């Protein structure tokens, strides 16, 4: 007998910001294809995608612009807890699937779910369960595992969270709160990791192996028609952030005498990339495409010579690799 469920999908961003958001939306579509009913719980934003399903939004928090008082909401937000209560009472889900909920949505949303005895599944798209800076990179962007087992003082000492003592303290306090409340080890019923490597890291950090299931990210192969074409350019696509290694890629590319590099995406390192382009006189060889929608992105991948993945952090199961291979293009791990 087939069981039809009502699933509340939770993610702090409700637009295509990165891989976790792609997973969040495509999981919703996959569930609906199998007859399940879904609703979404996220944060208000003018870029939000209208799904046509029930949607519940909390007030936005920008941790780069907010006040110190607002920043404390990353640990516990009474307003977000109340909104979750409203969503649960109206939608009445059979299960809640958390994605990236930390910081902006906070652990406060867990309590009303547990009170109603609704099972909680959490997909760990990154290593924030271990690292207050999310990436397991220190302030010098070197791999760092010193915060393993809750030794968050190292994050503060090294200012790992964007070079800020305050942000590092808040991140450390958040991590400590999650451990005290046993959010990952007890309150969440099942953790999905997109790779065995992430599972190993969580187990090393103290989460029970029996609680964790590896389930790789997915793409719909029917959406990726292979019509190979060579437009003569190498391609990077994804967040323009330090952990993604895009700055290293542009610096390395500047040493080559020829070649064309396209960069698709948005993020905080855009100005730094533009500065390298100007200083190295790469205007005719490096092109920033900005944010592309899914159809534009597929077409750009299809016409590339190959796609470069220069990440310096512990990648999970990146869509950049999966989508490229689905289109029949090679991937160069930089």
User: In the chain, which ranges are continuous DSSP H helix?
Assistant: 19-33, 68-71, 78-91, 110-115, 153-158, 165-180, 196-204, 246-253, 270-279, 294-303, 319-326
Kindly give the interhelix angle for 19-33 and 319-326, rounded to the nearest 10 degrees: 60
**C-alpha radius of gyration, the chain, whole number:** 20
Region 130-139: mean pLDDT is 93
Q: Is pLDDT at 174 greater than 80 in this prediction?
A: yes
Give the number of other Cβ atoms within 10 Å of residue 218's Cβ: 14
In DSSP terms, 56 is beta-bridged to 41
179: its two tokens = 């451990």
Q: Enumerate residues 6+ apart whose C-beta is below 8 A from 86.
A: 56
Sheet holding 37-43, edge to edge: 54-58, 37-43, 6-10, 95-98, 120-123, 190-193, 212-214
Residue 126 tokens, joined: 């990154």
pLDDT in tens, 200-237: 999 999 999 999 999 999 988 888 887 788 999 999 99
Task: Quickly count: other Cβ atoms within 10 Å of residue 29's Cβ.
Answer: 11
Contact present, 185 and 162 (Cβ < 8 Å): no
| Beta-bridge mates of residue 333 | 309
With CA atoms as reference, report the closest residue to 319 among 195, 228, 201: 195
Give the tens place of pLDDT for each residue, 17-37.
Answer: 888 999 999 999 999 999 999
| CA distances in angstroms from 213 to 54, 63, 196, 208, 216, listed in the order given | 28, 31, 9, 11, 10
- List the domains of the chain with CATH numbers: 6-214 (3.40.50.2000), 221-333 (3.40.50.2000)
pLDDT of residue 72: 75
The predicted structure's pLDDT at residue 70: 63
Do strands 212-214 and 234-237 pair parallel, antiparallel, or not at all (unpaired)?
A: unpaired
Residue 158 CA, chain-centre distance (Å), reads 23
Indicate whether 147 pLDDT > 70: yes
**pLDDT, position 71:** 62
Q: Number of H helices and number of E strands within the chain?
A: 11, 12
47-72 pLDDT, tens digit per residue, is: 999 999 999 999 998 776 654 556 67
Task: Tell me the pLDDT band of 141, cut-offs 50, 70 and 90.
Answer: confident
For residue 1, what pLDDT band results from cuts at 50, 70 and 90?
low
Measure Cα distances from 113 to 53, 118, 205 in Å: 20, 6, 25
User: What backbone phi and psi angles, to 5 degrees, belong to 54?
Assistant: -65, 135
């Amino acid at each position: 007998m087939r069981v039809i469920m009502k699933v509340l999908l939770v993610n702090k961003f409700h637009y295509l910001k990165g891989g976790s958001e792609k997973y969040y939306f495509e999981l919703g579509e996959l569930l609906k294809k199998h007859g399940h009913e879904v609703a979404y719980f996220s944060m208000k934003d003018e870029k939000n995608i209208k799904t046509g399903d029930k949607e519940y939004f909390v007030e936005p928090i920008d941790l780069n612009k907010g006040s110190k008082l607002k920043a404390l909401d990353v640990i516990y937000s009474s307003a977000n807890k109340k909104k979750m209560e409203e969503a649960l009472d109206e939608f009445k889900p059979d299960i809640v699937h958390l994605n990236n909920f930390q910081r902006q949505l906070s652990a406060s949303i867990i309590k009303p779910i547990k009170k109603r005895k609704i099972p909680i599944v959490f997909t760990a798209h990154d290593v924030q369960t271990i690292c207050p800076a999310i990436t397991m990179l220190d302030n010098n962007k070197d791999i760092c595992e010193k915060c393993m087992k809750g030794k968050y003082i190292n994050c503060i000492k090294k200012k790992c969270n964007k070079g800020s003592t305050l942000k590092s303290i808040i991140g450390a306090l958040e991590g400590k709160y999650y451990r005290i409340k046993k959010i990952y080890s007890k309150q969440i019923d099942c953790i999905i990791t997109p790779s065995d490597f992430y599972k190993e890291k969580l187990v090393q950090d103290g989460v029970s192996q029996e609680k964790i299931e590896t389930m790789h990210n997915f793409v719909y192969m029917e959406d990726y028609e292979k019509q190979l074409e060579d437009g003569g350019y190498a391609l990077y696509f994804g967040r323009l952030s330090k952990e993604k290694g895009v700055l290293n890629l542009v610096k390395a590319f500047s040493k080559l005498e020829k070649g064309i590099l396209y960069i698709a995406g948005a993020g905080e390192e855009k100005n730094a990339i533009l500065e390298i382009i100007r200083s190295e006189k790469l205007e005719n060889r490096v092109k920033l495409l900005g944010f592309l929608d899914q159809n534009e992105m597929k077409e750009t991948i299809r016409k590339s010579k190959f796609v470069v993945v220069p990440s310096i952090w512990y990648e999970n199961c990146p869509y950049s690799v999966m989508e490229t291979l689905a289109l029949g293009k090679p991937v160069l791990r930089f």
